[in-house]
Amino acid sequence: MTEIKVNLLEKGGKIKPMNGVNNGPIDGGIRNSYNNFDTYKAACIPFARNHDASFCASYGGEHIVDVHRIFRNFDADETNPESYIFEPTDKYIATTLAAGTQIFYRLGASIEHGYKFGTKVPKDFAKWARICEHIIRHYNEGWANGFYHNIEYWEIWNEPDLGIFEGASPCWQGNAEQFNELYCVTSKHLKEKFPNLKIGGCAFYNPKENPLKTMILDSVVKGEAHMDFFSFHWYGRFAAELAPYIRKNRETLDSLGLSHIPMVLNEYNYIKSFSGENWKDSLKAEKNLKGSAFISSIMCMGQHEPLDMLMYYDARPCAMNGLFKNETFECLKGYYTFMMYLELVKLGTHIPTDYMKEDIYSCAATDGDNSAVMLSYYNDADEAEARTVKLEFEGGNMPLRVKVYVLDEEKDLEPVREEIFSADKFSVLIDMTINSSVLVKLEKM
């Protein structure tokens, strides 16, 4: 039996936005076809990073988001509105905002596994920065028949460290020194033009220490570059392995005098490896119950660890989308983990727990009267035995009505039982199968 203590009077700060994603919803389009707009909106997703959006025809395809897709001819006049193609991205952003989700805008290019075009080194870094400036002005200041969306987060590039030290990268065709210069030039320019926006990066692929990360942070410390947030990625199969990387990145920033810079993990998913049979197995897992348990375990971890924002990859119709079926947009098991976490967001205040205990991940929240606990039983062993979890509560405003909801192979976050407790201390026993998740709601009567 796994015992987890929950003191309903203990406060651990705010519930953080651990329920962000990459990319927005699909609307019905001109054919009013299958879409996920309503279910996406219902999840109240706080942020959608728009990386790799150009791979999705329903968003606007090859014409959207990426700098080189909006500004097609680098030799054109960057001050002339006619040099830009904004309309497809306008629609994509408007649809996402209409769902109540804020844009986390990635400036740069989608990943290029084959032919390289957008990930090539810009031939004029200062001009590239000015192009980015005008994209921001279009969406935030009305330039070029634009908008006043107040998009706050602007991320420079994606995974510039992926493969460059091995001589082959799908994300950056230059060397580390060239990218450092691009980041320095662009971050300084954009922060000067938009002091109230958050300019940062660089969506590092490697969560460990690496020479490019060290170079960028050294430039920030020296004042040669600006950084309002530090972003990185992590893919794996053992959720517990992520926590040390989060702590190490936080320690690195703090040791450099950058404790004021928040950390954003804006790509994660279940991955055995990116090739062969393990890749196939990973894609299957992402779309089933294991994928949902993996998501909820990472959400619980992010809330407890020194992480400020978390974004799942990917809500775009693709092989790695564990939230919606690609063709019909019906909800998959992973979607319901976002609905569970939403209950914690609504309550607002975090209750600390022993969040990672014997493969049981937990996260709790309260509004002072009502509370909730999110549980996930996750490891990478599909045949693990069922386990009983004992939630030991104390400190609530009695009496409390306790409701238990289950996400497993048969149930999609459905209620299974209800009890009333009036004692100052009480326990709730919950039987969990491997990869199941549970939401326990405590309502003041």
Contact indicator for 2, 358 with CB cutoff of 8 Å: yes
Q: CA 407, CA 430: separation in Å to the nearest integer?
A: 13
| Residue position matching structure tokens 């097609």 | 72
Mean pLDDT of the 5-12 span: 95
pLDDT at residue 167 in the model = 82
Is the N-terminal amide bond of 88 cis, ω within 30° of 0? no
pLDDT at residue 231 in the model = 98
- Whether pLDDT at 84 is above 60: yes
Mean pLDDT of the 19-30 span: 89
- Whether pLDDT at 173 is above 80: yes
For the stretch 307-334, pLDDT in tens is: 999 999 999 999 999 999 998 999 999 9
Task: Using alpha carbons, select from 136, 194, 184 the residue that is nearest to residue 160.
Answer: 184
Percent of the chain with pLDDT over 90: 94
- Classify residue 140 by burial, with Cβ atoms within 10 Å: 0-12, 13-18, 19+: buried
Angle at 323 between CA 13 and CA 432, to 5 degrees: 70
Q: Tokens representing 340?
A: 């569970």
- The CATH number of the structural domain formed by 350-444 is 2.60.40.1500
Mean pLDDT estimate for the chain: 96
Q: CA 243, CA 423: separation in Å to the nearest integer?
A: 36
Amino acid at 345: V
- Whether pLDDT at 397 is above 80: yes
Q: Tokens representing 437?
A: 């998740």
- Whether pLDDT at 31 is above 70: no
Contact indicator for 29, 56 with CB cutoff of 8 Å: no
Amino acid at 294: F
Mean pLDDT of the 252-263 span: 98
The residue count for the chain: 445
Per residue, the 3-state secondary structure of the chain, as one string, reads CEEEEEECCCCCCECCCCCEEECCCCCCCCCCCCCCHHHHHHCCCCEEECCCHHHCCCCCHHHCCCHHHHCCCCCCCCCCHHHCCCHHHHHHHHHHHHCCCEEEEEECCCCCCCCCCCCCCCCCHHHHHHHHHHHHHHHHCCCCCCCCCCCCEEEECCCCCCCHHHCCCCCCCCCHHHHHHHHHHHHHHHHHHCCCCEEEEEEECCCCCCHHHHHHHHHHHCCCCCCCCEEEEEEECCHHHHHHHHHHHHHHHHHCCCCCCCEEEEEEEECCCCCHHHHHHHHHHHCCHHHHHHHHHHHHHHHHCCCCEEEECCCCCCCCCCCECCCCCCECHHHHHHHHHHHHHHHCEEECCCCEECCEEEEEEECCCCEEEEEEECCCCCCCCCEEEEEEEECCCCCEEEEEEEECCCCEEEEEEEEEECCCEEEEEEEECCCCEEEEEEEEC
Contact indicator for 4, 389 with CB cutoff of 8 Å: yes
- Classify residue 31 by burial, with Cβ atoms within 10 Å: 0-12, 13-18, 19+: exposed
Domain ranges of the chain: 16-348, 350-444
- Whether pLDDT at 252 is above 90: yes
Q: Does CATH place domain 16-348 in 3.90.1280.10? A: no
pLDDT confidence bin for 33, thresholds 50/70/90? confident
Contact indicator for 352, 10 with CB cutoff of 8 Å: yes
Mean pLDDT of the 67-80 span: 98
Q: Tokens representing 281?
A: 């197995």
pLDDT at residue 342 in the model = 98
Distances (CA, A) of 132 to 67, 136, 189, 197: 7, 6, 10, 13
Contact indicator for 371, 363 with CB cutoff of 8 Å: no
Q: Tokens representing 22?
A: 């990459």
How many other β-carbons are positioned within 10 Å of the β-carbon of residue 233? 22
Mean pLDDT of the 117-136 span: 98
- Whether pLDDT at 165 is above 90: no
